[in-house]
Structure 1
């Protein structure tokens, strides 16, 4: 009997779904013919396909040893060996197998592509790029090669070059959904969200059953502020992938942006059920808990902010962390600033509380805040970030102090150390600023702030155009001063054509200078920036203009702040609706100018 026939029959059995029968017959054959290369080859293929990769690797190696003088058999065996090694995670061995094939002169695009993927799996991205470019030099219309080149460039962070390669790939294979999807993800990295959305739309049209397409389109729509559409995509994607913890977290974040915080918390709970230590979800959960006033749970969850995927690296981790459990009388403790300048101002109020039981407090802040922070009292030593930190016993990030003191709505330290202020302006600087101004006696002096740090992730929502203040500037009973340090180019024309509004920025070097200006004012009207925090920390009346989805510290549906007794809050009634806010501010200002101190509606 011709020995090849049983092998052919076994392969037919395997193809028809009878892998066990095929495996048994081949093993029986090899029991009698242990050097049957074809039987070893096919049995290796069956073992690889059924997850028995170690056995497949052994069989392919045995067959290769018998085919040393038969290149026609050896090359496909080396290729299948490499595939089995790759799928087993043995990337170094797979790479050697692919390199052996190429050393024989067998130069084919699929071999170079497989080597490229293996190099990428070893995170040897530059070598992988060189390998796929070798393939593209020979086969310029190799669509899969362009796609993988783009993917490697994406990994390397060369997003513009990656986009160009994805363009080549989709031009060659316009019906391949993964190329459109990956092109969309590249455009996302380039912050070209509208263009990215068009690419993901194409991917969905071609492959509507892929949950990643829907879920990432939801994320893109979220970034574009199209939250209701994003929720629709989240829902569709979650039907296709209900066990995707990241997707539940993304849905929760979108719900939080439209103030559906209870629903957001439910979505976060589902994410945490799937991945209990999911730091990004726990951190975002904290923001919904805090804005709802659920401080006990919120402060605990907020500690996960350091473990988020995009978290800054915390400083001073070599020093023991203090979160309130250990007595600190007679100890020296470092309190250090994190996040934005406004956050630092907000949480500096806790420094005197840490000092109260007899601790020596070292407060580390941004250098621009050093002078104003020193006004809190001699018991607190203030240093700038970058200065030498003295030997200390403990350290605490400023925004963890609310957890350490178990602050809730009834115990927020809003009057530290006495009265409404915990920062104080320099009297001499305040007088010097006043004497340099042509101030009209009897008129109110009002400071305005329309925008903050343009690099803040929420800047598009919290900042406004300077021209939005025009309704306020009609008042003849007040002098108005723009007290922000930087003026955006888009606001310069309005400022130059509005003599009623004076620019005070030339007098500002650090927050101590800003405090001196604020000391001469009767009222500050500001969007949610560090200057709003500074005015409130000085105890100055401040009206804070809030976006539709406010920062957690302002809570919901109230026009006052438990953190700042002198603050009054004016909230957008719908996203982006600053004109309505300014009409209410203008009406409140008329009442205030008439002598009423009633809080605005």
Structure 2
């Protein structure tokens, strides 16, 4: 506040009351002074400031307009901008600030105020320029650094925001708002530990309890610190029990901790607090699906979709549930709606792709499979152009491996066709499969990840080959079957070692795929109805820890060969499968070895099987030697084994008992 050099004694008295904080007395005296000197700009300015401080913004604006009209000093224009901003007249306020800057361009406080106004108007890039101008003139002003950081966050420039906020905190430490904003910037940069530290510091100072706790919880979820996340969201619910987002976060943390009832209660309360919000219903659907409460899950998913009919996440979840409950056509409709509203949503695309493939709509399914890669999957992209299926005028085509060894084996069924067509191929495969593929495809070259590209001119992942070559089921007629061969000497040696005159039946009962093992794996106890048939000699084809497998099989009529390491040696696994008369297996890589070798195999699929086995089929176009059996809903694996056992017995009638040549093809 500046005082004009010619202020009269009554005005001095008003100013003294003003400075003492007696705003009511100051206002009366300013009015009296203005009656004596109605054209005194300084008095109008001081009176306007007094009204502003009393939150009478309309009176403040009127007085300050008069001050500016009488004398357009930069200070008066700046004060007018402040009053207009308080009245919500933002464009007029901006014009007043700019008029002040035109008169006094080197005033840091005016640049600072202009930046604050532009930030409020959601014009962050202009606000950044204003704050930087203020800092050029007053580089030690902590408030400018703090507010510059906030504007940089709003502009989507979190890296610069971190630098600005840390500088501001060096100038003015212990600012909870700036610590919170620092956490936001670090969160956007996915620097979870640093963001967690910033949010915790803000909470420790007693500021931004709700928002900092919410963001802290979400960062801790990213770090999979479920207990810490639960504590953070509990702080948020304690500070604001009516905030649905806090209960949603708490539900997620409790669900991850396995506290499903607490998670259900938290999601339910979130849904009550925000009845028009789809997120709580979505999470209730996911939780109920996890608990196999499918009717409840479907009802919640339907509510989520009704609340947000254009939300791909909700539509995809409903599709997942309909798939799990055996309604593939309805599921496909959900996935296709999700893809229509969010074409780039990978979960929707891959759900739709898998459902189309399951229903035999192969071409349309393969066209969406580019979204199949998960964040944890290693890609072997060498930066080459994607191969379009046309012959190359020169050089070779790099074909690189898929996520799992079973996928590699299945998609390798397309290689004979490509080689026969004259394409020059180099394969980047799992090292365990290199000798297997070299024997099967003698003209195939091999490439190692990171090796010089040499004559490679184009590339394609193995899983994209069906998009070119298997767009309908009729295209499978071109496939070479079988297309892999085991090492003949190793197969013969294993056969001789296992042969006791009975047909050999290989058994695999478990998947090691952490993401999907549970629904498609059984125990050896579950397999006892199969193992009870003493007309067969059962041999373990199960890969994994040898000691664990031997311990599981102890006392059971199942041979476990300690000299075979099917997990680390594809040659061992292939030869062992090849010397069997028949295989019984759950859905794991053993099935793919059997199919590629042409060995008869009974595949025991869960009620909801993978896309490759399609819907309701007992055969597979990928592997003619396979017979698919499907678990019924609610059926235990032991009951399922008892139902498959007679099929194995019927198969025995086709085998020659008591011969050493039963496996010869």
User: TM-score, normalization: structure 1?
Assistant: 0.81
For residue 75 of structure 1, report the CA deviation from its aligned partner.
11
Question: Which of 404, 423, 439 lines up with 1:375 in the alignment?
Answer: 439
When residues 398 and 8 of structure 1 are mapped into structure 2, their CA distance, relative to the original with a 3 A threshold, is same
Query: Which residue of the partner structure matches residue 475 of structure 2?
Result: 411
For residue 273 of structure 1, report the CA deviation from its aligned partner.
2.9
CA root-mean-square deviation: 4.2
Which SS does the other structure have where 1:217 is aligned?
helix
Query: Which residue of the partner structure matches residue 511 of structure 1?
Result: 570
When residues 171 and 576 of structure 1 are mapped into structure 2, their CA distance, relative to the original with a 3 A threshold, is farther
Structure number with the bigger relative contact order (C-alpha 8 A, sep ≥ 6) is: 1
Q: In 1, Cα distance between the equivalents of 2:256 and 2:455?
A: 43
Do 2:213 and 2:232's aligned partners in 1 also have CA atoms closer than 8 Å? yes
Answering whether residue 356 of structure 2 is matched by residue 285 of structure 1, we say no
For residue 28 of structure 1, report the CA deviation from its aligned partner.
4.8
More deviation, 26-35/180-189: 26-35
Q: In 2, Cα distance between the equivalents of 1:243 and 1:213?
A: 16
When residues 116 and 383 of structure 1 are mapped into structure 2, their CA distance, relative to the original with a 3 A threshold, is closer
Do 1:57 and 1:81's aligned partners in 2 also have CA atoms closer than 8 Å? no
Query: Which residue of the partner structure matches residue 399 of structure 1?
Result: 463
Query: Which residue of the partner structure matches residue 544 of structure 1?
Result: 603
When residues 362 and 240 of structure 1 are mapped into structure 2, their CA distance, relative to the original with a 3 A threshold, is same
Question: Which of 408, 429, 444 lines up with 1:365 in the alignment?
Answer: 429
For residue 297 of structure 1, report the CA deviation from its aligned partner.
0.9
For residue 389 of structure 1, report the CA deviation from its aligned partner.
6.1
For residue 181 of structure 1, report the CA deviation from its aligned partner.
1.7
Q: In 1, Cα distance between the equivalents of 2:93 and 2:310?
A: 28
When residues 570 and 131 of structure 1 are mapped into structure 2, their CA distance, relative to the original with a 3 A threshold, is closer
Do 1:45 and 1:56's aligned partners in 2 also have CA atoms closer than 8 Å? no
Which SS does the other structure have where 2:422 is aligned?
coil
Structure 2 residue runs of 5 or longer lacking an equivalent are 1-30, 32-46, 101-107, 115-133, 135-140, 657-665
Answering whether residue 85 of structure 2 is matched by residue 44 of structure 1, we say yes
Answering whether residue 242 of structure 2 is matched by residue 242 of structure 1, we say no
Answering whether residue 48 of structure 2 is matched by residue 3 of structure 1, we say yes
Answering whether residue 119 of structure 2 is matched by residue 62 of structure 1, we say no
When residues 547 and 386 of structure 1 are mapped into structure 2, their CA distance, relative to the original with a 3 A threshold, is farther
Residues 203-257 of structure 1 show CA distances to partners (whole Å, capped at 9, x for unaligned) of 3344444322222332333444444333222222223223323222332233233
Query: Which residue of the partner structure matches residue 341 of structure 1?
Result: 405
Do 1:188 and 1:220's aligned partners in 2 also have CA atoms closer than 8 Å? yes
Which SS does the other structure have where 1:423 is aligned?
coil
More deviation, 54-63/119-128: 54-63
Question: Which of 485, 494, 512 lines up with 1:433 in the alignment?
Answer: 494
For residue 530 of structure 1, report the CA deviation from its aligned partner.
0.8
For residue 183 of structure 1, report the CA deviation from its aligned partner.
2.6
Q: In 2, Cα distance between the equivalents of 1:239 and 1:124?
A: 36
User: TM-score, normalization: structure 2?
Assistant: 0.74
For residue 577 of structure 1, report the CA deviation from its aligned partner.
3.7
Question: Which of 402, 417, 434 lines up with 1:353 in the alignment?
Answer: 417
Question: Which of 533, 536, 540 lines up with 1:482 in the alignment?
Answer: 540
Q: In 2, Cα distance between the equivalents of 1:205 and 1:490?
A: 49
Which SS does the other structure have where 1:558 is aligned?
coil
Question: Which of 388, 398, 401 lines up with 1:323 in the alignment?
Answer: 388
When residues 100 and 137 of structure 1 are mapped into structure 2, their CA distance, relative to the original with a 3 A threshold, is same
For residue 397 of structure 1, report the CA deviation from its aligned partner.
1.2
When residues 112 and 452 of structure 1 are mapped into structure 2, their CA distance, relative to the original with a 3 A threshold, is closer
Query: Which residue of the partner structure matches residue 568 of structure 1?
Result: 627
When residues 556 and 8 of structure 1 are mapped into structure 2, their CA distance, relative to the original with a 3 A threshold, is same
More deviation, 137-146/354-363: 137-146
Answering whether residue 361 of structure 2 is matched by residue 300 of structure 1, we say no
Residues 90-145 of structure 1 show CA distances to partners (whole Å, capped at 9, x for unaligned) of 8767996897699568x665565455446645766655544444444444995665
Structure 1 residue runs of 5 or longer lacking an equivalent are 14-21, 69-73
Answering whether residue 527 of structure 2 is matched by residue 469 of structure 1, we say yes
Q: In 1, Cα distance between the equivalents of 2:96 and 2:256?
A: 41
Query: Which residue of the partner structure matches residue 228 of structure 1?
Result: 295
Question: Which of 177, 180, 187 lines up with 2:247 in the alignment?
Answer: 180
For residue 149 of structure 1, report the CA deviation from its aligned partner.
3.5
Matching of residues 53-132 of structure 1 within 5 Å: 62=110, 103=171, 109=176, 112-113=179-180, 116-117=183-184, 120=187, 128-132=195-199
Residues 2-61 of structure 1 show CA distances to partners (whole Å, capped at 9, x for unaligned) of 536875999678xxxxxxxx999699557537645664334224559x799977997995
Answering whether residue 379 of structure 2 is matched by residue 314 of structure 1, we say yes
For residue 391 of structure 1, report the CA deviation from its aligned partner.
3.0
When residues 146 and 280 of structure 1 are mapped into structure 2, their CA distance, relative to the original with a 3 A threshold, is closer
For residue 582 of structure 1, report the CA deviation from its aligned partner.
1.5
For residue 494 of structure 1, report the CA deviation from its aligned partner.
4.6
Q: In 1, Cα distance between the equivalents of 2:361 and 2:367?
A: 10
When residues 536 and 554 of structure 1 are mapped into structure 2, their CA distance, relative to the original with a 3 A threshold, is same
